Amino acid sequence: MTMGRLTNARIGVLMGGRSSERDISLKTGQAVYQALIRRGYDAVAIDITDRLHRDLEDQKVAIAFLSLHGPGGEDGAVQGFLETMGIPYTGSGIRASAVGMHKAATKMLLAAHGIPLPAGTVVWECDRPSLAKVLRQTKLRLPIVVKPVSQGSTIGVTIIRHSRQWKEALTLAHRYDPEAMVESYIPGHEATVSILGTAAEGSKVLPAIEIVASDGFYDFASKYQKGRTRYLCPAPLPAKVVHHISELARRAYEVLGCEGAARVDFRITPRGRPYVLEINTAPGMTETSLLPMAAAHVGIAYDDLVEQILQSALDRASRLARVVPTE
Protein backbone atom coordinates (compact mmCIF):
# COMPACT_ATOMS: atom_id res chain seq x y z
CA MET A 1 0.00 0.00 0.00
CA THR A 2 1.15 3.53 -0.79
CA MET A 3 2.24 5.54 2.26
CA GLY A 4 0.15 8.58 2.98
CA ARG A 5 -2.96 7.28 1.26
CA LEU A 6 -6.13 8.40 3.04
CA THR A 7 -8.05 5.13 2.69
CA ASN A 8 -7.79 1.69 1.15
CA ALA A 9 -11.55 1.51 0.62
CA ARG A 10 -12.79 1.10 -2.95
CA ILE A 11 -13.69 4.47 -4.44
CA GLY A 12 -16.31 4.73 -7.16
CA VAL A 13 -15.85 7.81 -9.32
CA LEU A 14 -19.40 8.66 -10.44
CA MET A 15 -19.60 10.53 -13.74
CA GLY A 16 -21.67 11.06 -16.87
CA GLY A 17 -25.37 10.75 -16.18
CA ARG A 18 -28.11 12.19 -18.36
CA SER A 19 -27.88 15.94 -17.83
CA SER A 20 -26.95 18.45 -20.52
CA GLU A 21 -23.50 18.57 -18.88
CA ARG A 22 -22.81 14.88 -19.40
CA ASP A 23 -19.75 15.37 -21.62
CA ILE A 24 -18.12 17.77 -19.16
CA SER A 25 -18.85 15.36 -16.31
CA LEU A 26 -17.13 12.52 -18.17
CA LYS A 27 -14.02 14.66 -18.59
CA THR A 28 -14.07 15.63 -14.91
CA GLY A 29 -14.59 12.02 -13.85
CA GLN A 30 -11.78 10.64 -15.98
CA ALA A 31 -9.36 13.27 -14.67
CA VAL A 32 -10.29 12.47 -11.06
CA TYR A 33 -10.12 8.72 -11.68
CA GLN A 34 -6.64 8.98 -13.18
CA ALA A 35 -5.46 11.11 -10.24
CA LEU A 36 -6.70 8.52 -7.75
CA ILE A 37 -5.00 5.72 -9.69
CA ARG A 38 -1.74 7.69 -9.74
CA ARG A 39 -1.94 7.99 -5.96
CA GLY A 40 -2.45 4.25 -5.57
CA TYR A 41 -6.13 4.21 -4.61
CA ASP A 42 -8.47 1.33 -5.41
CA ALA A 43 -10.72 3.31 -7.75
CA VAL A 44 -13.28 2.40 -10.37
CA ALA A 45 -14.94 4.68 -12.93
CA ILE A 46 -18.75 4.43 -13.09
CA ASP A 47 -20.87 6.10 -15.77
CA ILE A 48 -24.17 6.29 -13.91
CA THR A 49 -27.33 4.76 -15.37
CA ASP A 50 -30.54 3.36 -13.89
CA ARG A 51 -28.34 0.42 -12.84
CA LEU A 52 -26.39 2.56 -10.39
CA HIS A 53 -27.57 0.63 -7.31
CA ARG A 54 -26.43 -2.67 -8.84
CA ASP A 55 -23.18 -1.20 -10.18
CA LEU A 56 -22.23 0.14 -6.74
CA GLU A 57 -22.95 -3.21 -5.14
CA ASP A 58 -21.26 -5.27 -7.88
CA GLN A 59 -18.14 -3.08 -7.70
CA LYS A 60 -18.21 -3.15 -3.87
CA VAL A 61 -17.91 0.64 -3.74
CA ALA A 62 -17.39 1.96 -0.20
CA ILE A 63 -16.91 5.66 -1.07
CA ALA A 64 -18.33 7.72 -3.94
CA PHE A 65 -16.29 10.50 -5.51
CA LEU A 66 -18.92 12.65 -7.25
CA SER A 67 -17.84 14.01 -10.62
CA LEU A 68 -21.36 14.78 -11.79
CA HIS A 69 -22.65 18.10 -13.10
CA GLY A 70 -26.15 19.39 -13.67
CA PRO A 71 -29.59 18.10 -12.62
CA GLY A 72 -29.52 14.64 -11.10
CA GLY A 73 -25.86 14.98 -10.16
CA GLU A 74 -25.38 18.14 -8.15
CA ASP A 75 -28.93 18.90 -7.04
CA GLY A 76 -29.15 16.56 -4.06
CA ALA A 77 -30.71 13.64 -5.94
CA VAL A 78 -27.69 11.34 -6.13
CA GLN A 79 -26.56 12.55 -2.71
CA GLY A 80 -29.83 11.36 -1.19
CA PHE A 81 -29.61 8.09 -3.09
CA LEU A 82 -26.12 7.42 -1.73
CA GLU A 83 -27.23 8.23 1.79
CA THR A 84 -30.01 5.63 1.56
CA MET A 85 -27.32 3.13 0.56
CA GLY A 86 -25.05 4.21 3.40
CA ILE A 87 -22.25 5.20 1.01
CA PRO A 88 -20.33 8.35 1.99
CA TYR A 89 -19.65 10.75 -0.87
CA THR A 90 -17.53 13.78 -1.65
CA GLY A 91 -18.68 17.37 -1.74
CA SER A 92 -21.76 19.07 -0.39
CA GLY A 93 -24.69 17.29 1.22
CA ILE A 94 -28.31 17.09 0.15
CA ARG A 95 -29.43 20.51 1.40
CA ALA A 96 -26.50 22.54 0.08
CA SER A 97 -26.60 20.70 -3.25
CA ALA A 98 -30.34 21.20 -3.72
CA VAL A 99 -30.26 24.88 -2.77
CA GLY A 100 -27.08 25.60 -4.73
CA MET A 101 -28.49 24.09 -7.91
CA HIS A 102 -31.70 26.13 -7.70
CA LYS A 103 -30.66 29.71 -8.41
CA ALA A 104 -33.84 31.24 -6.99
CA ALA A 105 -33.49 29.31 -3.71
CA THR A 106 -29.83 30.30 -3.54
CA LYS A 107 -30.74 33.96 -3.95
CA MET A 108 -33.38 33.83 -1.22
CA LEU A 109 -30.96 32.29 1.25
CA LEU A 110 -28.01 34.52 0.42
CA ALA A 111 -30.16 37.67 0.39
CA ALA A 112 -31.34 36.82 3.92
CA HIS A 113 -27.68 37.01 4.96
CA GLY A 114 -27.03 40.34 3.31
CA ILE A 115 -25.04 39.04 0.34
CA PRO A 116 -25.44 41.31 -2.72
CA LEU A 117 -27.29 39.77 -5.67
CA PRO A 118 -28.70 41.06 -8.98
CA ALA A 119 -32.33 42.18 -8.79
CA GLY A 120 -34.76 39.91 -10.58
CA THR A 121 -37.67 37.50 -10.57
CA VAL A 122 -38.75 34.04 -11.72
CA VAL A 123 -41.03 33.42 -14.71
CA TRP A 124 -42.83 30.09 -14.87
CA GLU A 125 -43.33 28.38 -18.21
CA CYS A 126 -47.11 28.43 -17.76
CA ASP A 127 -47.20 32.21 -17.27
CA ARG A 128 -45.38 33.69 -20.28
CA PRO A 129 -45.86 37.37 -19.31
CA SER A 130 -44.93 40.17 -21.69
CA LEU A 131 -41.54 41.80 -21.32
CA ALA A 132 -43.22 45.11 -20.54
CA LYS A 133 -45.08 43.54 -17.61
CA VAL A 134 -41.94 41.94 -16.18
CA LEU A 135 -39.94 45.16 -16.47
CA ARG A 136 -42.75 47.11 -14.85
CA GLN A 137 -43.15 44.69 -11.94
CA THR A 138 -39.44 44.30 -11.26
CA LYS A 139 -38.40 47.88 -12.11
CA LEU A 140 -35.64 46.43 -14.27
CA ARG A 141 -34.35 48.02 -17.48
CA LEU A 142 -32.69 46.45 -20.49
CA PRO A 143 -30.29 44.76 -20.76
CA ILE A 144 -31.46 41.84 -18.65
CA VAL A 145 -30.38 38.21 -18.35
CA VAL A 146 -32.71 35.23 -18.78
CA LYS A 147 -31.56 31.77 -17.72
CA PRO A 148 -32.92 28.43 -16.46
CA VAL A 149 -33.24 28.29 -12.69
CA SER A 150 -31.54 24.89 -12.44
CA GLN A 151 -28.75 24.52 -14.98
CA GLY A 152 -25.00 24.99 -15.11
CA SER A 153 -22.32 25.79 -17.69
CA THR A 154 -24.28 28.87 -18.82
CA ILE A 155 -26.67 26.57 -20.70
CA GLY A 156 -29.86 28.26 -21.89
CA VAL A 157 -28.70 31.79 -20.98
CA THR A 158 -29.52 34.90 -23.03
CA ILE A 159 -28.55 38.52 -22.51
CA ILE A 160 -31.54 40.51 -23.76
CA ARG A 161 -30.62 43.88 -25.21
CA HIS A 162 -33.67 44.30 -27.47
CA SER A 163 -37.32 43.54 -26.69
CA ARG A 164 -37.61 41.31 -29.77
CA GLN A 165 -35.33 38.75 -28.00
CA TRP A 166 -37.76 38.18 -25.12
CA LYS A 167 -39.93 35.32 -26.39
CA GLU A 168 -37.04 33.37 -27.84
CA ALA A 169 -35.00 33.79 -24.66
CA LEU A 170 -37.86 32.52 -22.49
CA THR A 171 -38.42 29.57 -24.81
CA LEU A 172 -34.74 28.66 -24.61
CA ALA A 173 -34.60 28.89 -20.82
CA HIS A 174 -37.83 26.92 -20.41
CA ARG A 175 -36.44 24.20 -22.64
CA TYR A 176 -34.23 23.26 -19.69
CA ASP A 177 -36.40 24.21 -16.72
CA PRO A 178 -40.04 25.23 -16.10
CA GLU A 179 -38.69 28.17 -14.12
CA ALA A 180 -36.67 30.92 -15.79
CA MET A 181 -34.65 33.47 -13.83
CA VAL A 182 -34.85 37.05 -15.08
CA GLU A 183 -32.15 39.33 -13.66
CA SER A 184 -30.60 42.71 -14.22
CA TYR A 185 -27.47 42.58 -16.33
CA ILE A 186 -24.42 43.73 -14.35
CA PRO A 187 -21.87 45.43 -16.61
CA GLY A 188 -18.18 45.20 -15.77
CA HIS A 189 -15.89 42.33 -14.84
CA GLU A 190 -16.58 38.64 -14.37
CA ALA A 191 -14.71 36.73 -11.66
CA THR A 192 -14.90 33.50 -9.73
CA VAL A 193 -13.65 32.41 -6.32
CA SER A 194 -13.16 28.78 -5.28
CA ILE A 195 -13.32 27.50 -1.71
CA LEU A 196 -12.13 24.27 -0.10
CA GLY A 197 -13.04 22.69 3.23
CA THR A 198 -16.01 22.72 5.60
CA ALA A 199 -17.68 25.37 7.69
CA ALA A 200 -17.07 23.25 10.80
CA GLU A 201 -13.34 22.79 10.22
CA GLY A 202 -12.60 26.01 8.40
CA SER A 203 -12.79 26.90 4.73
CA LYS A 204 -9.86 27.92 2.56
CA VAL A 205 -10.44 30.63 -0.05
CA LEU A 206 -8.36 30.22 -3.20
CA PRO A 207 -7.17 33.11 -5.41
CA ALA A 208 -9.83 34.88 -7.44
CA ILE A 209 -9.78 34.40 -11.22
CA GLU A 210 -10.95 37.06 -13.65
CA ILE A 211 -12.72 35.68 -16.71
CA VAL A 212 -12.34 37.61 -19.96
CA ALA A 213 -14.48 36.20 -22.77
CA SER A 214 -13.50 37.25 -26.29
CA ASP A 215 -17.01 38.48 -27.14
CA GLY A 216 -17.86 39.73 -23.66
CA PHE A 217 -20.27 36.89 -22.85
CA TYR A 218 -18.97 33.87 -20.93
CA ASP A 219 -21.35 31.35 -22.50
CA PHE A 220 -21.01 27.59 -23.04
CA ALA A 221 -18.82 28.00 -26.11
CA SER A 222 -16.56 30.47 -24.31
CA LYS A 223 -16.13 28.00 -21.45
CA TYR A 224 -15.25 24.94 -23.49
CA GLN A 225 -13.81 26.09 -26.83
CA LYS A 226 -10.09 26.66 -26.70
CA GLY A 227 -8.95 30.24 -27.16
CA ARG A 228 -12.39 31.82 -26.61
CA THR A 229 -11.62 33.04 -23.08
CA ARG A 230 -8.66 34.30 -21.05
CA TYR A 231 -8.36 33.38 -17.36
CA LEU A 232 -6.32 35.76 -15.24
CA CYS A 233 -5.12 34.23 -11.96
CA PRO A 234 -4.76 35.93 -9.62
CA ALA A 235 -7.42 38.37 -10.83
CA PRO A 236 -5.82 41.76 -11.69
CA LEU A 237 -8.50 43.63 -9.73
CA PRO A 238 -7.98 46.17 -6.95
CA ALA A 239 -6.91 44.50 -3.70
CA LYS A 240 -9.99 45.88 -1.92
CA VAL A 241 -12.30 44.26 -4.50
CA VAL A 242 -10.46 40.93 -4.35
CA HIS A 243 -10.69 40.91 -0.57
CA HIS A 244 -14.40 41.74 -0.74
CA ILE A 245 -15.33 38.98 -3.20
CA SER A 246 -13.18 36.48 -1.30
CA GLU A 247 -15.10 37.19 1.90
CA LEU A 248 -18.44 37.10 0.08
CA ALA A 249 -17.52 33.74 -1.44
CA ARG A 250 -16.58 32.36 1.97
CA ARG A 251 -19.86 33.59 3.47
CA ALA A 252 -21.91 32.11 0.62
CA TYR A 253 -20.10 28.77 0.99
CA GLU A 254 -20.70 28.66 4.72
CA VAL A 255 -24.29 29.93 4.59
CA LEU A 256 -25.22 27.10 2.22
CA GLY A 257 -23.25 24.60 4.29
CA CYS A 258 -21.03 23.49 1.41
CA GLU A 259 -18.32 20.87 1.83
CA GLY A 260 -15.38 19.60 -0.16
CA ALA A 261 -15.18 22.37 -2.75
CA ALA A 262 -17.37 24.95 -4.43
CA ARG A 263 -17.00 27.96 -6.71
CA VAL A 264 -18.82 31.29 -6.41
CA ASP A 265 -19.29 33.39 -9.56
CA PHE A 266 -19.44 37.18 -9.55
CA ARG A 267 -20.11 40.17 -11.73
CA ILE A 268 -18.30 43.32 -10.61
CA THR A 269 -19.36 46.79 -11.73
CA PRO A 270 -16.79 49.24 -13.16
CA ARG A 271 -16.88 50.98 -9.76
CA GLY A 272 -15.92 47.75 -8.00
CA ARG A 273 -19.27 46.68 -6.55
CA PRO A 274 -19.63 42.88 -6.65
CA TYR A 275 -22.78 40.80 -7.09
CA VAL A 276 -22.99 37.04 -6.56
CA LEU A 277 -24.43 35.30 -9.62
CA GLU A 278 -24.49 31.73 -8.35
CA ILE A 279 -22.63 29.08 -6.41
CA ASN A 280 -21.45 25.87 -8.04
CA THR A 281 -21.34 23.06 -5.48
CA ALA A 282 -19.78 20.61 -7.96
CA PRO A 283 -17.20 22.65 -9.89
CA GLY A 284 -15.43 21.20 -12.89
CA MET A 285 -12.32 19.16 -12.13
CA THR A 286 -10.65 18.69 -15.47
CA GLU A 287 -7.00 19.62 -15.19
CA THR A 288 -7.73 22.93 -16.95
CA SER A 289 -10.85 23.80 -14.92
CA LEU A 290 -10.99 26.92 -12.78
CA LEU A 291 -10.87 25.24 -9.37
CA PRO A 292 -7.63 23.34 -10.15
CA MET A 293 -6.24 26.52 -11.74
CA ALA A 294 -6.78 28.52 -8.56
CA ALA A 295 -5.45 25.68 -6.39
CA ALA A 296 -2.28 25.38 -8.48
CA HIS A 297 -1.57 29.08 -7.93
CA VAL A 298 -1.15 28.43 -4.19
CA GLY A 299 0.88 25.27 -4.69
CA ILE A 300 -1.87 22.63 -4.52
CA ALA A 301 -1.15 20.15 -7.29
CA TYR A 302 -4.08 18.48 -9.04
CA ASP A 303 -3.64 15.11 -7.35
CA ASP A 304 -3.38 16.81 -3.94
CA LEU A 305 -6.59 18.72 -4.68
CA VAL A 306 -8.39 15.47 -5.49
CA GLU A 307 -7.23 14.04 -2.16
CA GLN A 308 -8.41 17.12 -0.28
CA ILE A 309 -11.87 16.71 -1.80
CA LEU A 310 -11.77 12.97 -1.03
CA GLN A 311 -11.32 13.92 2.62
CA SER A 312 -14.84 15.39 2.60
CA ALA A 313 -16.22 11.87 2.03
CA LEU A 314 -14.15 10.50 4.90
CA ASP A 315 -15.41 13.30 7.14
CA ARG A 316 -18.98 12.44 6.15
CA ALA A 317 -18.33 8.75 6.88
CA SER A 318 -17.10 9.70 10.33
CA ARG A 319 -20.22 11.75 11.03
CA LEU A 320 -22.41 8.88 9.87
CA ALA A 321 -20.38 6.50 12.05
CA ARG A 322 -19.64 4.41 8.97
CA VAL A 323 -16.29 2.66 9.14
CA VAL A 324 -14.21 2.71 5.98
CA PRO A 325 -10.76 1.10 5.75
CA THR A 326 -7.88 3.51 6.31
CA GLU A 327 -4.13 3.26 6.37
Concerning whether 224 is annotated as a catalytic residue, the answer is yes
Of the candidates 55, 80, 224, 272, the residue annotated as catalytic is 224
Concerning whether 83 is annotated as a catalytic residue, the answer is no
Of the candidates 12, 19, 20, 21, the residue annotated as catalytic is 21
**200-226 exposure pattern, b = at least 16 Cβ within 10 A, e = fewer:** eeebebbbbbbbebeeeebbbebbbee
**38-76 exposure pattern, b = at least 16 Cβ within 10 A, e = fewer:** ebebbbbbbebeeebeebbeeeebbbbbbbbbbbbbbbb
Closest residue by Cα to residue 263 from 83, 81, 28: 28
Of the candidates 22, 263, 267, 316, the residue annotated as catalytic is 263
Of the candidates 153, 184, 194, 222, the residue annotated as catalytic is 153
Of the candidates 183, 190, 210, 278, the residue annotated as catalytic is 278
CA gap 88, 234 in Å, rounded: 34
Concerning whether 41 is annotated as a catalytic residue, the answer is no
Helix (H) or strand (E) holding 66: strand 63-66
Concerning whether 253 is annotated as a catalytic residue, the answer is no
Concerning whether 278 is annotated as a catalytic residue, the answer is yes
Backbone angles phi, psi at 210, to 5 degrees: -90, 140
Concerning whether 265 is annotated as a catalytic residue, the answer is yes
Concerning whether 153 is annotated as a catalytic residue, the answer is yes
Concerning whether 280 is annotated as a catalytic residue, the answer is yes
Of the candidates 197, 284, 312, 315, the residue annotated as catalytic is 284
Residues recognised as catalytic: 21, 153, 224, 263, 265, 278, 280, 284
